[in-house]
Copies of this chain bind each other. A is one copy, B any other.
């Protein structure tokens, strides 16, 4: 049996997994990234993880190639991480450096594209011709898969839906623009807004749950819990985020006409709390012809989508 290995390099952890041709995860490892040690140390760690997985798989199973999903700007053809803020990487030739270490073909791409690629070919988008995927996490980004092929656009920059300017949003974005979708509609945007409202004295269950300094520990999952407990602040913030995502997706869908929209990332764990207002706003803003055909679903492999996508992408690019 031929298998491929997918690697998801995050700011906090590296996840590395082997999958079969259908995207089934056979082995999986997780290690802290420790990006402060520099890119050579991180690539060394990935090489060790790949070696360990190969050993665990045993001699009968041949690993043909490795795919790596990296945050930030990636040149997938050259195999270079152009810029990854979290990792402090700039112009790192990851495919070559890692390929030399492990003696296998290495293919890299942006982590969101890998995630959505996995969902498109072996997850919630399976069987659809035109997949528009969005991940709602620390930021918000999209990826487009048509007929099983990722769409890249000029300089491989396609997918920056998180930086579409939304009316009524004034927040400054880390990108230098203001009013970007991700400032308020990402998982971290939810938390930031809640903290701000609580510090300004807005009434909420969250004041009891996270008194004083404890507020620093607030997560998006806590907002979901508060919403379930009837908290108006949490509901306002989550519903608004759902609507804004729906609105940005309506603009994208009107131009692209996808068959399906797959919503993933940590933000998607809010489930119907976020998805119901997202769908409502999206369908409200679409022409009837679009509305009737377009499916909106949550990702199937939330935790593993990154490694599944990277692994299947490596198989695809390697021509396995």
* A residues apposed to B, CB below 8 Å: 73, 129-130, 142, 144, 146, 151-161, 163-165, 167-168, 175-177, 247-248, 250-252, 254-259, 285, 287-290, 293-294
| The 10 nearest A-B residue pairs measured at CB | A153-B257, A167-B167, A157-B257, A158-B257, A154-B259, A160-B254, A154-B257, A164-B251, A251-B251, A252-B255
Cβ B255 vs Cβ A256 within 8 A: yes
CB distance from A276 to the nearest CB of B (A): 20
The complex places the Cα of A144 from the Cα of B152 at a distance, in Å, of 13
The listed residue (B152, B164, B175, B293) touching A250 by CB distance below 8 A is B164
Q: Which residue of B lies closest to A152 (CB)?
A: B257
Q: Which residues of B contact A156 (CB under 8 A)?
A: 257
Q: Which residues of B contact A176 (CB under 8 A)?
A: 288
Q: Which residue of B lies closest to A175 (CB)?
A: B287
The complex places the Cα of A288 from the Cα of B312 at a distance, in Å, of 32
Cβ B251 vs Cβ A160 within 8 A: no
The complex places the Cα of A294 from the Cα of B290 at a distance, in Å, of 29
CB distance from A46 to the nearest CB of B (A): 26
The complex places the Cα of A130 from the Cα of B285 at a distance, in Å, of 27
Cβ B146 vs Cβ A129 within 8 A: no
The complex places the Cα of A159 from the Cα of B252 at a distance, in Å, of 10
Q: Which residues of B contact A152 (CB under 8 A)?
A: 257
Tell me whether A258 and B153 are in contact in the complex, defined as CB-CB below 8 angstroms, given that A164-B250, A251-B164, A287-B163 are known contacts. yes
Q: Which residues of B contact A177 (CB under 8 A)?
A: 285, 287
Q: Which residues of B contact A247 (CB under 8 A)?
A: 165
The complex places the Cα of A165 from the Cα of B283 at a distance, in Å, of 12
Cβ B255 vs Cβ A154 within 8 A: no
The listed residue (B155, B165, B293) touching A154 by CB distance below 8 A is B293
Tell me whether A160 and B290 are in contact in the complex, defined as CB-CB below 8 angstroms, given that A154-B259, A177-B285 are known contacts. yes
Q: Which residues of B contact A151 (CB under 8 A)?
A: 146, 256
Cβ A287 vs Cβ B160 within 8 A: yes
Cβ A154 vs Cβ B258 within 8 A: yes
Cβ A154 vs Cβ B167 within 8 A: no
CB distance from A253 to the nearest CB of B (A): 9
CB distance from A88 to the nearest CB of B (A): 18
Q: Which residue of B lies closest to A289 (CB)?
A: B157
CB distance from A170 to the nearest CB of B (A): 13
Instruction: List 14 additional A-B contacts (Cβ < 8 Å) besides A157-B257, A165-B285.
Output: A129-B154, A153-B257, A153-B258, A153-B259, A154-B257, A158-B256, A158-B257, A159-B257, A160-B257, A164-B251, A164-B254, A165-B247, A175-B287, A248-B251
Tell me whether A154 and B142 are in contact in the complex, defined as CB-CB below 8 angstroms, given that A161-B255, A252-B251, A287-B163 are known contacts. no
Q: Which residue of B lies closest to A292 (CB)?
A: B155
Q: Which residues of B contact A256 (CB under 8 A)?
A: 144, 151, 153, 158, 255-256
Cβ A73 vs Cβ B167 within 8 A: no
Q: Which residues of B contact A168 (CB under 8 A)?
A: 167
Q: Which residues of B contact A165 (CB under 8 A)?
A: 247, 250-251, 285
Pick the most buried of A157, A168, A176, A254: most chain B CB atoms within 10 A of its CB. Answer: A254
